[in-house]
Structure 1
Amino acid sequence: MKLTRLLTNKLTSFWFISLAAVAFIFLLTALISFAQLTSTFQQQKVTELEAMLVHHFDHDGTSAVLDTWLPPILSAYKVTHLVLKDGKKTLYEYSSGKERSGFVYYEKSLNHHDGLSLSMKLPQPFKMYSFSWYALSVFIVGIGFIAFFVRSGYLWLSTQLQGIEDLAIRSKLILNNEYEQALAEKGHGKPRMINRALTHMLLELDDAQKQRARFDQFIRSNTFLDPETGIGNRLFLKNRLDALSNDRGMMAPGVLFLLEMEDLDLLLQEIGEEQIDEILLQTINDISQILDSQANSIFSRRSYNQFAIVVPQISLKDVEKLAGKLLKVCLNHKLPDGISSADFYHIGAAYFKVGETKEQLLEEAERALRAAQFQGNSGWFMYDKGAVDEEFAKGSVRWRSFLEYALVNRRLVIFSQPVIDSDREIHHMEISSRIRDNQDNLIRATLYIPMAIKCGLTPQFERQVIEAVLFDLLANLNDTTTKYSVNLSLDTLLSRAFIRWLKTTLLEYRHLTPRLIFEINEDIVVHHIEQLAPKLDMIRKMGASLCVDRVGQQVVSTQYIKECHFDFIKLHRSIVRQIHLRQENQLFVRSLIGGLYRTGVQVFAEGVESFEEWQTLKILGVSAGQGSIFSDPVEED
């Protein structure tokens, strides 16, 4: 851009100087011509005077009568001084009495009169003539017209070249992959045909990107969604359960519900497909509304008449309330005449603890479902497994007191886990946290964060995490290059007090801000994009990077990645788990990376646990990975 502007400035300056030079030469030529003409005219007057004197002496021969006719002529010719001599004898002398500062001296011998010589002084030729007001007015008007046309031409040329600069600005934005800004920067580019062509191409590119996002969503939908109901299918449920577990079993407590509609396939033959679809749609909509309040819940279809619901990080007491709500909305549905809801809906629940296997979980849920069916009426059943996690069974009041105590006494412990790129170098460190209780035990985040959300204390905890990163990790003079990523929740991003504090802090520590990466859950971004867009834009303008994690957890369009200008995306562990054995997951990753081509967005993967997974991810184009294969979270000193 600087080069383009420099060239246009040079061109306009050259054009302006050229016209000014032409005007100057024109005026100089006119001045020289004027001086030359006045000098020639004066020469003619001297010659005429000489001829008159020669004629006088040829006919009279004396100088006695010169006083009668010569002075008026000399006055008319503006002669200052004249001397007529015969040898050394002065025959006639004339003086006007008006001395001028500048004069021209002429000395001549009269033709055919030996000894007679004439000498005279005249003013400078151009001083003999003065401009009249009329001539001066014509001159000034001429100069004005020249200046006007030169200025008009300069402005016209500058306008034309400004159009070229507008085209250069759009071209630079396109080369920097800033297509949206280039499309908005229509300007007044000239030639207009090129400007319109750029606009047309950008519109086509924008439409192609949207089509690519829709195609990507189509691939994900056909891979992980049930085509009839639009919720997750059996493969989707398997991936999500794999993501909630590892080799040592489930990583967090929760519940699995299996909801089955009795003899729905036989009912299809009696009442028809249209009424069955209406029953399914009503049931799914009501259940989805209930699950909206349950973070990270999973809703999928296992078979034609069986649905699975997984809710992680929920207490046993809340499981009973949730089961009652699910059964209540099902029983409130209006069924076709002749069909009773008294023995139509059955729910089996299996509460799982940390360390239990997913196979054991599914088996227990199926047994509970059969027990609910054996009871004969619509209802739900869950085997009594005894006491669950003692920490999780704490009451809300005790939890709030404990969390407030942890905040005041700064009992938060920071852990970091490296994100390794394909060259085995650390791209950044992801920060997680735990709480140390009075017995010096560490309470994991999966346990205390849900309770912090219930108590409305999430912004305070995440603020302490950011302060620890800024004041302890980034302030380390021995390490000035490592980047750190911090997770932000929905409650935190919607907190005005937190956003004000974050803006002030990032502004104060702007020299450290480029080493910060803020991660946001994909589900949060997709469902609250209008509310979060200004906050995310503020963070990005402050110099920090943005990352969206848990990508692939939900089946949504990836258009939000470009709209919010994320720098990184992190694949959910359900996509990464055993990806070398799952062609559908590989297809999703290929489609995702292809849709982000030329955007500069890097794709990472979390939950990498085996060499085969990492090799497959690198082949697919994933830039970096995070997981137990590289390192487990390590406590920061």
Structure 2
Amino acid sequence: MKLTKILTKKLTSFWLLSLAAVAFVFLLGAIMSFIQLTYTFQQQKVTELEIMLVEHSKQLEQNQFSTWLPPLLSAYNAVDFSLSQGDKIVYEYHHDNLNIAKNSLTLYQNQLDNGLQLSLTMPPPFALHHLGWPELVIVIIGFIAIGIFVRFGHGWYSRELDGIEQLALRSKLILEGDLVQAAQVPTNGKPRMINRAISKLLSDLDDAHKERGRLDQFIRKDTFLDKQTQIGNGIFFQNRLDALSHNQKMIAHGVLMLIEFDDMDLVEEELGESGLKAMFTLTTEAITAVLAQYEDSIFARRSYQQLVIVVPQLSLAEADQLAQRVLKTCLALPFYGLGNPDNFLHLGSAFFKAGDLQVQLIEEAEMALRAAQLQRVNNWFMYDKGAVDEEIAKGSVRWRSFLENALVAKRFFTLQQAIVDSDNRILHYEIFSRARDHQGNDVRATLFIPMANKCGLMPQIERQILEQVLFGLMPKNTATYCINLSLDTLVSRAFVRWIQSTLLEHRPLASRLIFEVSEDIIVKHQNNPALVKSLDMLRKMGAKLAVDHVGQHVVGTHYIQEHHFDLVKLHRSIVRQVHQRSENQLFIRSLIGGLYRAEVKVIAEGVECFEEWQTLKILGVSAAQGEYLDQIVES
């Protein structure tokens, strides 16, 4: 763009200089022509005088020259006149009243036919001419007309070149990949045909991107969603359950619920296929509304007549309350008077802790479901596992007290995990947080983050973590760090003001920061002006943006380019055993294809074996993190 502006200015200057040169040459030629014409006219007058002298010298006496020659010489504005024959002066004339410098006078000398010699001194033909008011008015009007023409020409020329610069600006934005900004540039660029063609292509490209997003979403729906209920299918459930486990052991606590409908054949006979579909639709919508307040909850259809719910980070008391609410909500729907209304719906729950086996958890949930069915009434049953972890059993008041004390005492600390590219080089580090209790024991983030969200303390916690990164880790090296931010933090005015002033004060550190936001937050709150403003501010400060947990929910991916994310991180449920799951491979191919030509890197999290990493590299994933890659980095 700078080169285009320089060329435009040079072209405009060349045009003005050329116009000035043409005007100067034209004016100089006019002046020279005028001078030449006046001299020619004067020469003609002198020639006529010579002819008259020759004729009169033959017809008249020589002493009669004084009767007619002085008025004629006065009319010619002659200064000196001398007519001689040999050494004898026939007639002389002098006029000294003209205020003209002698060195500018013109001398004419000639030998006439009858032996007479003529010597005539005259002023320049234009010396005695003075411009009158008519001439001055004409000259002024002429210069004004020239000025108006130059002004109009310069304006027209500038407008035409501005149109070319707008085309250059749009072209630059397109080459930089900023298609949205290119489409918003004023569409008065010239040539207009080219400008309209660019606008049409941008519009078609935007439609193609949206269509590609819809196709990606369709592929994801067809792969991971149940066609009848539009909730997760068996593959989706297994992927998400695998993401909550490591080496077949659960990595957090929570509850798993199985909901089963009895006598489905009788219901289908009474309602028909469309009625049965409507029943499932109403049921799933009601349960989804109940689960809306639980983050990271999993809701899927496990089989033809069985639904499954998994809610991590839930205490045992909260799990009991949730089971009662789900059963009560389902029984309140209008179609449960069909079939056997008193023994139609059963719910079995199994509470799990970190370290419980995944297979054992499903068996316990199925045992609880069988126990509920044996009671022959619509009921729910919780599998009794015995003692519950003390950390899980803490109440909200105790959690708030613990978190506030940890903030005051600065007992939050950081851990980091390397993100490695396809050549096993470290790109950056992701920061994880831990808390330390009074006894010096570490408290997992999976335990305190849900309670911190409930207590509204996440902005203070994440600020303390970010301070440790900015002023503890970053001065010691040149590495880049990735930090997770929650919704409460991003919409907190106090946090946003602090991070903005801090990054302004430490501007070089901004380029070494990556702020990571969950896909669920972006999709659900993408119209929140405070969230969008915070993300734009961080990006303009020089930091990069990343979206994680991609693939955890079945949503479109158009938001990735709309919010200018630099990194996309696949959820571990998509990465787990990807080499054995063609559905997950299809999703990854679709995602990478949708981001074609966009400057977005796709990263995988939770890589645990060589086969997973090799498959991801073949699919086009740029980098990854996980237990397997940690071993490579350490070695």
TM range (shorter): over 0.9
Q: What is residue 602 of structure 2 aligned with on the other side?
A: 603
Segment drifting more, 223-232 vs 264-273? 264-273
Q: What is residue 505 of structure 1 aligned with on the other side?
A: 502
Segment drifting more, 122-131 vs 595-604? 122-131
Counterpart contact for 1:486–1:518, Cα < 8 Å = yes
Counterpart contact for 1:255–1:350, Cα < 8 Å = yes
One-letter amino acid of the counterpart of residue 547, structure 2: V
Task: Tell me the distance in 1 between the aligned counterparts of 2:319 and 2:110.
Answer: 136
Counterpart contact for 2:107–2:121, Cα < 8 Å = yes
Q: What is residue 259 of structure 2 aligned with on the other side?
A: 259
Question: What is the percentage of aligned positions where both structures have the same residue?
Answer: 56
1:417 aligns with 2:414: no
Q: What is residue 547 of structure 2 aligned with on the other side?
A: 548
Q: What is residue 108 of structure 1 aligned with on the other side?
A: 109
The one-character-per-residue Cα deviations of 1:76-123 (angstroms, maximum 9, x if unpaired) are 111123344455555544332224125324252542454x54433321
One-letter amino acid of the counterpart of residue 449, structure 1: I
Aligned ranges for residues 321-400 of structure 1 at < 5 Å? 321-335=321-335, 337=337, 339=339, 341-400=341-400
One-letter amino acid of the counterpart of residue 619, structure 1: I
The one-character-per-residue Cα deviations of 1:555-589 (angstroms, maximum 9, x if unpaired) are 00111111111111000000000001111110110
Q: What is residue 492 of structure 1 aligned with on the other side?
A: 489
Q: What is residue 314 of structure 2 aligned with on the other side?
A: 314
Task: Tell me the distance in 2 between the aligned counterparts of 1:53 and 1:353.
Answer: 137
1:373 deviates by 1.0
Task: Tell me the distance in 2 between the aligned counterparts of 1:265 and 1:540.
Answer: 56
Aligned ranges for residues 69-468 of structure 1 at < 5 Å? 69-87=68-86, 90-98=89-97, 99-101=99-101, 103-114=104-115, 116-247=116-247, 249-335=249-335, 337=337, 339=339, 341-468=341-468
Let me know the Cα RMSD of the aligned residues.
2.2
One-letter amino acid of the counterpart of residue 600, structure 2: V
Counterpart contact for 2:263–2:339, Cα < 8 Å = no
Q: What is the count of residue pairs matched by the alignment?
A: 630
Task: Tell me the distance in 2 between the aligned counterparts of 1:93 and 1:514.
Answer: 99
Segment drifting more, 391-400 vs 351-360? 391-400
Counterpart contact for 1:103–1:121, Cα < 8 Å = no
Task: Tell me the distance in 2 between the aligned counterparts of 1:83 and 1:77.
Answer: 14
One-letter amino acid of the counterpart of residue 130, structure 1: H
Task: Tell me the distance in 2 between the aligned counterparts of 1:574 and 1:96.
Answer: 117
Task: Tell me the distance in 2 between the aligned counterparts of 1:107 and 1:602.
Answer: 94
Unaligned runs of 5+ in 1: none
Task: Tell me the distance in 1 between the aligned counterparts of 2:192 and 2:111.
Answer: 77
Aligned ranges for residues 591-630 of structure 1 at < 5 Å? 591-630=590-629
User: What TM-score, normalized by structure 2, do the two folds share?
Assistant: 0.94
Task: Tell me the distance in 2 between the aligned counterparts of 1:561 and 1:301.
Answer: 29
C-alpha change, 1:18 and 1:109, in structure 2 (3 Å) is closer
SS at match of 2:302: strand
Task: Tell me the distance in 2 between the aligned counterparts of 1:591 and 1:605.
Answer: 15
Counterpart contact for 1:253–1:353, Cα < 8 Å = yes
Segment drifting more, 544-553 vs 193-202? 193-202
1:155 deviates by 2.9
Segment drifting more, 500-509 vs 298-307? 500-509
1:7 deviates by 3.5
Q: What is residue 523 of structure 2 aligned with on the other side?
A: 526
Counterpart contact for 2:483–2:514, Cα < 8 Å = yes
Counterpart contact for 1:104–1:122, Cα < 8 Å = yes
Segment drifting more, 226-235 vs 152-161? 152-161
1:520 deviates by 0.6
The one-character-per-residue Cα deviations of 1:581-607 (angstroms, maximum 9, x if unpaired) are 111110110010000000111100000
Task: Tell me the distance in 2 between the aligned counterparts of 1:581 and 1:426.
Answer: 27
Task: Tell me the distance in 1 between the aligned counterparts of 2:415 and 2:265.
Answer: 51
Task: Tell me the distance in 2 between the aligned counterparts of 1:337 and 1:412.
Answer: 54
Task: Tell me the distance in 2 between the aligned counterparts of 1:623 and 1:189.
Answer: 39
1:276 deviates by 2.4
Q: What is residue 565 of structure 2 aligned with on the other side?
A: 566
Task: Tell me the distance in 1 between the aligned counterparts of 2:248 and 2:272.
Answer: 46
Task: Tell me the distance in 2 between the aligned counterparts of 1:469 and 1:445.
Answer: 17
SS at match of 1:630: helix
1:206 deviates by 1.1
Counterpart contact for 1:265–1:305, Cα < 8 Å = no
Aligned ranges for residues 7-22 of structure 1 at < 5 Å? 7-22=7-22
C-alpha change, 1:351 and 1:109, in structure 2 (3 Å) is closer
SS at match of 2:475: coil
One-letter amino acid of the counterpart of residue 104, structure 1: L
C-alpha change, 1:392 and 1:616, in structure 2 (3 Å) is same
One-letter amino acid of the counterpart of residue 507, structure 1: L
The one-character-per-residue Cα deviations of 1:328-365 (angstroms, maximum 9, x if unpaired) are 21222223655454322211110101111110100000
The one-character-per-residue Cα deviations of 1:535-571 (angstroms, maximum 9, x if unpaired) are 2122111211110001000000111111111111000
Counterpart contact for 1:414–1:434, Cα < 8 Å = yes
Counterpart contact for 1:335–1:341, Cα < 8 Å = no
Counterpart contact for 2:422–2:623, Cα < 8 Å = yes
